[in-house]
Amino acid sequence: MQELLKTHFGYDTFRPLQKEIIDTVLAGKDTLVLMPTGGGKSLCFQLPALVLPGITIVVSPLIALMKDQVDGLCANGISAAFLNSSLSVREQLDVMTRARSGEIKILYLAPERIGSYGFYDFLVDLNVSLLAIDEAHCISEWGHDFRPEYRNLSSLRMKIPKTPIIALTATATPYVRDDILSQLNIRKEGVFTSGFNRENLHYSVRPKLNTFSRLKELVQTHSGESIIIYCFSRKNTEDVAEKLTKAGFSAAPYHAGLPQKDRERTQERFIRDEVPIIVATIAFGMGIDKPDVRLVVHMDLPKTIEGYYQETGRAGRDGLPSECVLYYSYADRRKQEFFINRIEDDHEQKLATRKLDDMVEYCQNSVCRRFFLLMYFGEKNVLTFCDACDNCVKADVEEADATEIAQKIMSAILKTGERFGAAHVCDVLRGSKKKRILELGHQNLSVHGIASDMPIGALRTYVQSLKTVGFIEQNDGEYPTLKVTQKGRLALMDKSKIALPVVDVVKEVKQSASTSKSDLAYDERVFEKLRVLRKDIAHEQNVPPFIIFGDRTLHEMAFYLPSSLEKLSTLFGVGEKKLEAFGEPFLTCIAQCVTEFALQEHDKPRSTKSPLTPTSGHVSTTLQETKELLTQMLSIEEMAVRRGLSSGTIIQHIEKLVYTEEGLAIAHLKPEDSIFQAMKAGFEKNNRATLTSVYKQLDEKFTYDELRLARLFLER
């Protein structure tokens, strides 16, 4: 398995649980795999397929995705094909003939194919060694993406009862998992869960305030990278795409109302890096396996956590840092409720409302975004902070005196009898003459029009901030009316100063942009030249660029600058087939860059740890390499040089190691006592608050990295 892993896929080590799952599959046992997007699910059936005697059938609902997956397998030297409605009758017959002859090792099928005429006769002619069911949550009526045709899988199972089955999904609550097991008759002992945590994703929720201007700033920080922007309606997608185009960006809309040929062309251009930005409704992306999407933006509120998780999961599938931004306004809830109220089945309507409540809670909550998501999917013993979401990283949030506007908002809530929601209260404050306000006589209130100069978006943001800090609260129930809490009433009576968070667009963008850089300190000039070469070769081969090599592989090329095929073969994602097909042109490009930019080759360090040995607590490979250097009592600077990483990245690795492993020896990294005591005093004065507040408390004498390292010794 290890040899095949390197030969065909170019990987030196397995990801957590992959080897255990593959061993179970090869032992002929049924398995259910719950693994996050980008976690390596496909490898769990693709690698066993190479050594099993017959054919592996993969059932997938994503017709548009099959070609890319098959192209990727063929590029890795694996015989694969697909059968779906996109093929002509002649092409389908050719695939079936090749499958019968044993020429094909992996065959992808759409679920509709299972119930089609003549399918079981075709199945009898095959020696099926393994049945893989991708997107297995589609079989459950409790799932967010139920597909009735998936019910045919039960009858397929009966036709080949001795064939082991592997079901795979990235989005399933505990209830859905149990339903999958029941539908496919899989024993609970065969469940493998590697967790839903996407460590490389940075999550943030931002208020809808000057949204398009802020979107432009955000998109600019990801210049040249692939971006998906989700909108609520077809009209929204076209409007946003048009505005971005006028602003000088290359963007295209995608929604179900466009002609099929236009949709296919747009999707093809996106996959081939010809257009970097797609503005789409949620239908887009189900058939996308593009691994290098660096930013996913939601311009409107998703209707479920499962849907949001799946849509954000299209970012960073290659494991490199990527960003997920959601622009939120409570008013967006009304858009979703309009459609929920049209659901005739009472049970379905209540279920949809509950899922929408969960989504709103995610947006309004001040806890770690990652913690919230993982708890939702039933994970236990989850850390309550992540250092990779807006609620954990507070460096982009400042507080300012908002006493005047806070008093106006709370007064308006009280003057209107605490019987109205945020929309009505804001209308009163801005002096609206809407029919409802005139009917109620609210134009005669002293608070009418006292905030007429404030944009509605800013006013709604202040309302949300007052809810977050507990000065006002929203009643649960059919009508989300606002009321002033005891804390708010006391602040009004005492005329207390009220400080609220103020979002600084520039700082916000800079903070988020830093999350999109690779840990490896590669030369960006070399990377760009390698990207151009990759795109040219992909065009010649008529495949997407990522099929040639992924971004992570190019990052390693641009850092290590290998000078021979042997050295190139040691890099991530470089297997024998790709080395033979593409090695020489990439080496030539690297050699030209070394001369042009006067660069020096770096030797890739050899790992002293056996790649087959599972690490404690599923520590990732990059963390494991840092841990090995840590045990050698090296300094932060020495580890950074050895790894080719920044000191800040090394400190982040150590933080994660400390919180996942007990008894880790880091005493040699503790700052000098006089310096440590000064930092300790800063943390204690701020009651161990955010790094930003401590940084300012200490007059910016210490860097964030120094403070982060000192904090480790305060919490041990």
Q: What is the chain's mean pLDDT, rounded?
A: 84
> Quick check: 506 pLDDT over 50?
no
- CA-wise closest residue to 639 among 657, 654, 656, 655: 654
> Quick check: 516 pLDDT over 80?
no
Q: Could you please report the per-residue DSSP string of 22-38?
A: HHHHHTT--EEEE--TT
CA 527 distance to own-chain centroid: 23
Specify whether the CB–CB gap between 279 and 251 falls below 8 A: yes
CA–CA separation, 483 and 468 (whole Å): 13
Average pLDDT over residues 340-356: 87
Structure tokens given for 157: 């199972």
**DSSP-assigned letter for residue 84:** S
Specify whether the CB–CB gap between 222 and 61 falls below 8 A: no
pLDDT, tens digit (0-9, with 9 covering 90-100), for 356-414 = 888 988 988 777 899 889 888 877 667 777 878 888 876 445 667 889 999 999 999 99
Q: C-alpha dihedral over 115, 117, 120, 124, to 10 degrees?
A: -160
> Quick check: 89 pLDDT over 70?
yes
- pLDDT, position 139: 85
Instruction: Using the CB atoms, write b or e for 289-305: b if 16+ within 10 Å.
Output: bbbbbbbbbbbbbbbbb
Length of the chain: 716
Helix, strand, or coil here: 517? coil
CA–CA separation, 560 and 554 (whole Å): 10
What is the chain's alpha carbon radius of gyration, rounded to the nearest angstrom? 28
pLDDT, tens digit (0-9, with 9 covering 90-100), for 248-292 = 999 999 988 889 888 888 988 998 899 999 999 876 655 567 889
Q: How much is the pTM?
A: 0.65
The H or E element spanning position 536 is helix 524-541
The band of 458, judged by pLDDT with boundaries at 50, 70 and 90, is confident
Average pLDDT over residues 581-591: 92
> Quick check: 81 pLDDT over 80?
yes
- pLDDT, position 484: 93
The band of 159, judged by pLDDT with boundaries at 50, 70 and 90, is confident
CA–CA separation, 66 and 11 (whole Å): 22
- pLDDT, position 477: 57
- pLDDT, position 247: 94
**DSSP-assigned letter for residue 138:** G
Pairing state of beta strands 201-207 and 251-254? unpaired
- CA-wise closest residue to 678 among 655, 654, 705, 707: 707
pLDDT, tens digit (0-9, with 9 covering 90-100), for 603-642 = 877 643 333 333 333 444 567 788 888 888 888 888 877 7
Average pLDDT over residues 320-339: 88
Structure tokens given for 412: 């308006």
Name the residue with higher pLDDT: 210 or 57. 57
Average pLDDT over residues 198-207: 90
CA–CA separation, 69 and 636 (whole Å): 41
CA–CA separation, 285 and 154 (whole Å): 27
Q: Report the share of the chain in percent with pLDDT over 90.
A: 34
- pLDDT, position 716: 56
- pLDDT, position 689: 47
The band of 705, judged by pLDDT with boundaries at 50, 70 and 90, is confident
Name the residue with higher pLDDT: 610 or 100. 100
The band of 659, judged by pLDDT with boundaries at 50, 70 and 90, is low
Supply the angle between the helices 369-376 and 305-312 in degrees, to the nearest 10: 120
CA–CA separation, 70 and 345 (whole Å): 40
> Quick check: 221 pLDDT over 60?
yes
Q: Where are the beta strands (DSSP E) in 35-164?
A: 55-59, 80-83, 106-109, 128-133
Specify whether the CB–CB gap between 545 and 530 falls below 8 A: no
CA–CA separation, 49 and 30 (whole Å): 15
CA 87 distance to own-chain centroid: 32
CA–CA separation, 286 and 454 (whole Å): 41
- Tell me which of 50-64, 289-303, 696-710 is least confident: 696-710
Domains and CATH numbers, the chain: 2-193 (3.40.50.300), 201-396 (3.40.50.300), 399-502 (1.10.10.10), 524-596 (1.10.150.80), 620-714 (1.10.10)
What are the residue ranges of helices labelled H in 365-478?
Answer: 369-376, 403-415, 422-429, 435-440, 456-468
Specify whether the CB–CB gap between 323 and 515 falls below 8 A: yes
